[in-house]
Amino acid sequence: MSRVVVTGRVPEPALQKLRAEHEVDAWEGSDSISRQELLRRVAGADAIVSLLTERIDPELLDAAGPQLKVVANVAVGYDNIDVPACTERGVVATNTPGVLIDATADIALGLILMATRRLGEGERLIRSGQAWKWGMFFLLGSSLQGKTLGIVGMGGIGQATARRAKAFGMEIVYQSRSEIDPAIAAELGARRVELDELLTISDVVSLHCPYGPATHHLIGAEQLEAMKDTAYLVNTARGPIVDEAALALALREGQIAGAGLDVFEQEPKVHPWLLELENVTLVPHLGSATVETRTAMAVLAADNTLAVLKGEQPPTPIS
């Protein structure tokens, strides 16, 4: 029987799977585990099931010890994990791709609708108790039909977002490291372009690329200036892909029409300038926040853990 440390609260079905075969030390606190407590708990662990709020770095891996076999991240992104440090120590790192595609694409489309139709502004107006009256020019937004959606990162979530947008009558262009399956491109009517062109022709730009050194501040002042002044930016990927200060300035000065953000550069902190603006929709990292999706993510992380502890190939290793 191995010892498995779970760094935060996860759905019970995943814990049941792990407890059926191993000793499980799961953090049950309502707040995130402190760094000091995490370093103490992982000592002697054979497996760590981690949340994206925990940094898996050389210090933590060394605190766990040489018997550590696997770090199973309950997230598709893994910028919180030092993968080379894991590899160097013979620790398998895994993530949970696939199971959160639809939930995140739903949030992306929701943010597109909220931004373009100014739904957040409308709700805040009513909740504030201010007087309002219907009028021909009251809170006018922008329609999606016939507009161009530019998707940066055409993986599973990007494709699912494109499929939803196509149902709303949008044209699809995308930027990615490689061409997508020709059959999928034909289904979506999607055309691959370079990022510079995507920014200049898109009415909505939706970010779905992974985060790393190559995509840090991929969208900054220069890129925002290249966008139409009637365009919108949506980010459901990772916060640091966007330079928040540059975005806030662009929104304030009308360089772009609006934005919708599910992730933030210094999460959970939000740039204070963004909080002052009406033309940005802000939601607290809800991309995968459905009961079904979070349960599937945790169960997949448990399956990855159990496979490695049995000496088997995990379902979704980080390559």
The one catalytic residue in 208, 238, 271, 294 is 238
Annotation marks residue 292 as catalytic: no
> Quick one: which of 254, 253, 279, 284 has its CA closest to 269?
284
Q: 73: which strand partners?
A: 50
Both tokens of 245, joined, read 């200060």
Active-site residue (options: 21, 121, 197, 267) = 267
Residue 186's H or E segment, with its range, is helix 182-188
Establish whether 22 is a catalytic residue. no
- The yes-or-no answer on residue 238 being catalytic is yes
CB atoms within 10 A of CB 249: 14
Catalytic residue among 22, 117, 192, 285: 285
| Residue located via tokens 């398998």 | 92
The runs of H, that is alpha helices, within the chain are: 12-19, 35-42, 58-64, 83-88, 101-116, 119-127, 156-167, 182-188, 195-201, 221-226, 244-252, 272-275, 291-309
Q: What is the DSSP letter of 27?
A: -
Catalytic residue numbers read 238, 267, 285
